[in-house]
Structure formats: C-alpha cells, structure tokens
Structure 1
Amino acid sequence: MLVAFVVALTSVGFWFAHKPIELRAPVVDFTVQRGLGMRQAANHIAASGVAVQPRLLTWLAQISGRANRIKAGSYEVHTGVTPWQLILKLSDGDVSQGAVLLVEGWNFRQVRQALETTPDLVADTAGLSDADILGRIGASETHPEGLFFPDTYLFDKHSGALAVLKRAYGSMQKRLAAAWAERDPASPLKSPYEALILASIVEKETGRADDRGLVASVFSNRLRIGMPLQTDPSVIYGLGADFDGKLRRKDLDTDHPWNTYTRPGLPPTPIAMPGPDALRAAVRPQQSDYLYFVARGDGSSQFSRSLDDHNRAVDRFIRNGRAN
C-alpha cells in the first residue's frame, strides 16, 4: 500500500513538473527581489500572470534541493514553460536582460536621455541633479561630463539607470588609468583628467580613427607653446541649449569657460564621452610639428605647419567657411 502511494505521488509530481504552465500572455516577465524565499517568490510569480500553484512550485523546488538556490533578478518565461523549467531558470539565475548603447561623442544630457527612455530600465535618475547622480554612484568629480565609457551595457530588466552609470563610470576610470600609465613622457598633459578633457575634444573633432593621432598632436603642440586651442566643439558645448546648429563670429568672441578662442589652455571639463581611440591619441599623439588642421569634407583633415599653409587649405576646402 505504501509503495503504491509513493509511486502515485511520484507520478503526480512528474506530471506536475513537466506539464506546461498557462500564461496570461505569450511572454510574461517578473522580478524576484533580493531576500525573497522560495514560497514568497512563488506567490509573486503566480501574481505576475504565471498560472502555477505556489505551494506545488515550492514543493517541487524543495524536493529537488533547489529551494535555497533561487537567485534574485528579472526573468522572462514563454508559452510552453513547465514548472521544472521554471525552477531551473530560478536556481540557475537565467535572468532576462536588456541592452543600452552609450555612444562615443555623446554628452551627459544625451546619456541621461538614453537611460531614462530605455524600456525595462528603471529611470531612477529622473529628478536627480547631476551632482546627486555623481554622489550616488560614488564619483569624486563634481561635473559628470566625459566620465562614462561609451559601450553597450547589458542589464537585468527592471534594474536601474544608476547601476548602469556606475558600471560605465568604473569602466572609464579603468580605461583612463590604463591610458595614462602609457602616456608619452613628453606629453604636456598634467593629469588623467586633463587627458580625458583632451580626448573628448579629439573625439568631437574627428570621427576618423587614422586622423585622431595627428589631431591630438596639433592640440598638444599648441598646449606646449601656449597657443589657444581654438576648437569649435568646446565653444559649442559651452553654448549648450543656445546653440542653434550654426556657429557665428559673435559666438567665438563671447567669453565663457569653454571658449578656447578667448581662453588659453584646456577647457575646465570634458565636452563629451571619448572612446578608446581618442583616449590613446590624447596620451600618445602622433609625432608632428603641425599647428593647424581643416576638414576636407570627406571626413578626413588637412594638416598644416604654418598659418599661410592653413589659410590656403581653408580656401581650398572650406570656401566662405571656418576651420581650426
């Protein structure tokens, strides 16, 4: 009699474990919060639209030895999932993930907008000041620009934007430290932060990887001799929301901290997120005696040693326009 009961119980358990669960939609996602036990998690899963008996799901997890192994995170289940597959997913930590791309050359306003509008990412930065954000991710800097490494970041669905920013900040700190350790001993830069500033300018001045070394050399050469950098992207950055897409003479003549026409040296902060190529170029620029460059119109630049040569290049490539 006992043997028959055990066999019957085992058969029922096997049937339950492998019978597809009804879902309220073809795909249902739910989040298991940190600290929840199996029974609490099972109740939450059922309330989320997965039609499974919480007590039976808990029992299955217990007899399989996996009840104490469930992992917090966001999960996604599809039509046809069985209780046993669900237990495996929970105990293996097979969480569902989203992705957000932070693009080289973006400023912090664009980064915030991307994070706060990404589906499945909690916008826990909304309403916070830039200073509040820096404090919450443990950054020591007072200005957020350029502090985050551009990359594609995977995240558990329903996790927060602050967590992504913290990872991007840590990644930039590591990349910047590695670049600074390999800097040219003759570099005029005095600190890793200055390298970050120059890298951000190089990033905005050209999208062509094979020009970055020479662009960086122009700015390094100017820094050495005390010549103004005269870089349009930093002026544009300083104009902020007032910039209408066209840089005018009055913009170059109006003094502000990021106007590298009216102020010598580097601007006070980065102006964008530099990528790895721009970081390398800033700390180890290509050796040259160039002091000028102008865009050719095809993405590349024409470099010059003298102002006369530069003016001829401007006449050739940007008639009635402007150049660096």
Structure 2
Amino acid sequence: MNLKKLFLLIISSLVLIGGVVTYNFYSKIYKPNTIKKGFLYITTNSNFSEVENLISPFLKNIKSFIWVSNKKKYPTNIKPGKYLVTKGLSNNELINLLRSGKQTPVKLAFNNQDNLKKLAGRISTQIEADSINLYNSFNDASFLAKEGFTKKTALAMYLPNTYEVYWNITPNKLRAKLLVEYRKFWNKTRLAKTKELGLTPIKVITLASIVQKETASIAERPKVARLYLNRLQHKWPLQADPTIIFAIKEKGNTANTVIKRVLTKDLEINSPYNTYKNLGLPPGPIGMPDLSSINAVLNPANHDYFYMCASTFHIGEHEFSKTLAQHNRNAIKYQKWLSKQGINR
C-alpha cells in the first residue's frame, strides 16, 4: 500500500470515528430520552442519587442522563419542586427544566376544616410540608400576636378557597401568603358592612362559623345570620346548639365524635363556648365557615325573628318564630321527632 492510500485510509478512519463520537455526543444531549408524561416531585435537600431514582422510570437511558447532568453540573444545582415531565424530551431539555426551577404550581384547596390540626392535615396532602410543621407554623404564638390573632381565633385567618402555590412552599411562606389573601378579602366594602353590624372581621367569621354549623342550606343562612344578629343587638344569649357541641368536644377531647342531639344537661357545661350561659360571641370560630356563611353575616336577611328550631318537615332547615310560646311548640315537636327516630345523642 502506497503512502497516499494509507493517508486516505487514516483520514477516512478518523472521519468515521469522529462521526461516531459526534453522533454519540449529540444523541446523549439532544436525542429524545423521556418515554412518558408525568409529575416529578423532588423533595427539599435531595441529592443526585435520589433524583436518579425518581427520574429513572421516565427515561429510556439513565446513563446518558447522568452523563449530561454531570457535564451541565446539575448534581450541584438541584432545585426541589414539582416538575411536569413530558414525553420526548432530550436530556438537555430535561436538565434545563430541572435546573431552572420552573415548577408546575399546585392548586391548593381546603374548606370545612374544624380546627388548625385538621387544616394542617388537609394541606399536607397537597404540598411537601408535613402536617406537624404546618400546624406549628399556624399555631405560632408570636406570629398570631403580631397579626392580631390568638390561638382561639387563628382559624379565622384561613379562608376556604383554591390557591396557587409551589409544591415545596415552606409552612411560613404559605402562612404569609394566606394572610395576604385574608387581608385582601377584607376590603373597604366588607369592612364597612362589618362596622355597620358592630363587629370585627374575626367576629364576623366567628358568627359565620355558627351559621355554617347551624344550617347546611345556603339559601337559609342569611335568615339564620339575621336571627343571631337580632339576639346580639338586643343583648340576648345566642343559645346556639353548635357552640354547645363544640364545647362538649373540646372538654372531652372527642373531636371526631358525632353529636346529633343536645341534651338539657349539656346546656350547663362550663365553657366560654356555652352561648346559653354567656352573652355575646364565643372566643373564636367553632369551625371554618365557607364564603356563603361569611356573606350571609355581612348581608343578612331582613326579619325580626328571635327563635328557631330544626324543622321536622323540611329536614336540614328551620322553623322560625317571634315568640317563645311558638318556639316552645316547635321545640317539643322536634324533640318528639328525634325520639321517634331513635336519636338519643
């Protein structure tokens, strides 16, 4: 073989090898590698080994992902969060997504939580933070005092709704965001209505929580709200059975007990939540009212009823009356109905 042919052979081999190396290099970086669509949840303080395990089911070739990750220094730049991985992403596109921290927001939703522990538990199923850390943040005494709440009124700050947050939001940052939403809710219009009623935002929510527990009928809530406002304005005790049920559960640490009937002896319970013995509103909400109950208090019906009793004709609603005599007749009828149904507690 002459030198010319040898030279051409060497050049051809080098070109071929270079082409193969270039193709492999290109494939590792730019060729599609994700095989399915789904969410990737990278927890706070995850290391690269943990990310490998999480992302492996999404990939055709994990080794190429590791190689490109090292080249792009991703192992030292891991950002926690919820990421949407789509099918057909290259390693370069996937790593750029993860390095950027461009998460898919979570639609955080909650309602009808009776206390901060239940609220923390509900939220913990939707974001990274656990219920203990959330509860401790929500119940932090220094935060509550600074923002004008107490441990008994703290639940009033959390308005049931859907909020857009990042999955790895910290408890304190979530708390701050929900406080901002609370302040926004109490705009000039709502504050003016609150002042007209002689209440404060926390007292409105406290009364709304009683209205919520009293009736499941959204249409009836403005009527129930007005009845309680009539009692407050005339300095009558509210005599709201839901507050008695709350007091029983609080005293007995039986939060999950279902109480369908309030007994005469229950009305003597020694508790600031006993609205048969104490005038005015209880110290704080007895649950989380939804917006319909809050709006019912801010926009109550116009009537002069002072009494109500659960209806035996329209289950879930009430019979309203202006006189004690009429109310007593309704109450006797209802107690007989309860006994007939076998409801003793």
TM-score between both structures, scaled by the size of structure 1:
0.75
1:15 and 2:27 matched = yes
Q: Indicate the residue corresponding to 1:102 in structure 2.
A: 110
1:240 and 2:239 matched = no
Given the alignment, which residue of 187, 205, 221 partners 1:196? 205
Given the alignment, which residue of 190, 195, 206 partners 1:180? 190
Matches within 5 A, 1:56-135: 56-57=68-69, 73-77=81-85, 81-87=89-95, 89-90=97-98, 93-96=101-104, 100-104=108-112, 106-116=114-124, 118=125, 121-123=128-130, 125-126=132-133, 129=136, 132-133=139-140, 135=142
- Alpha-carbon distance between aligned partners in 1 of 2:102 and 2:147, rounded to the nearest angstrom: 31
- 302-311 or 207-216: bigger deviation: 302-311
Given the alignment, which residue of 135, 144, 159 partners 1:149? 159
Classify the secondary structure of the residue corresponding to 1:252: helix
Please identify which structure carries the higher helix content: 2
1:44-83 deviation line (CA, Å, top 9, x unaligned): 7446444254452465x69xxxxxx997633254675431
The one-letter amino acid paired with 1:31 is I
- Could you say which structure has the larger radius of gyration? 2
- 8-17 or 145-154: bigger deviation: 8-17
Deviation for aligned residue 1:84: 3.9
- Number of aligned positions between the proteins: 309
Classify the secondary structure of the residue corresponding to 1:29: strand
TM-score between both structures, scaled by the size of structure 2:
0.71
- 279-288 or 243-252: bigger deviation: 243-252
Q: Indicate the residue corresponding to 1:286 in structure 2.
A: 301
Structure 1 unmatched runs, 5+: 63-68
The one-letter amino acid paired with 1:269 is G
- Alpha-carbon distance between aligned partners in 2 of 1:12 and 1:178, rounded to the nearest angstrom: 64
Given the alignment, which residue of 172, 180, 188 partners 1:170? 180
- Alpha-carbon distance between aligned partners in 1 of 2:195 and 2:54, rounded to the nearest angstrom: 60
- Alpha-carbon distance between aligned partners in 2 of 1:140 and 1:185, rounded to the nearest angstrom: 17
1:250 and 2:262 matched = no
Once the two structures are aligned, what percentage of the paired residues are identical? 23
Structure 2 unmatched runs, 5+: 1-10, 57-61, 340-345
1:312 and 2:312 matched = no
Classify the secondary structure of the residue corresponding to 2:271: coil
Contact 1:182–1:283 (Cα < 8 Å) also in 2: no
Q: Indicate the residue corresponding to 1:65 in structure 2.
A: none
CA pair 165-45 structure 1, distance change in 2 beyond 3 A: same
- Alpha-carbon distance between aligned partners in 1 of 2:217 and 2:299, rounded to the nearest angstrom: 17
CA pair 182-12 structure 1, distance change in 2 beyond 3 A: farther
Name the Cα RMSD after superposition. 4.2
CA pair 209-140 structure 1, distance change in 2 beyond 3 A: same
- Alpha-carbon distance between aligned partners in 1 of 2:163 and 2:128, rounded to the nearest angstrom: 11
- Alpha-carbon distance between aligned partners in 2 of 1:129 and 1:46, rounded to the nearest angstrom: 33
Contact 1:252–1:261 (Cα < 8 Å) also in 2: yes
The one-letter amino acid paired with 1:291 is F
1:290-316 deviation line (CA, Å, top 9, x unaligned): 111222252222221111222233344
Deviation for aligned residue 1:285: 1.2
Classify the secondary structure of the residue corresponding to 1:183: helix
Deviation for aligned residue 1:211: 0.7
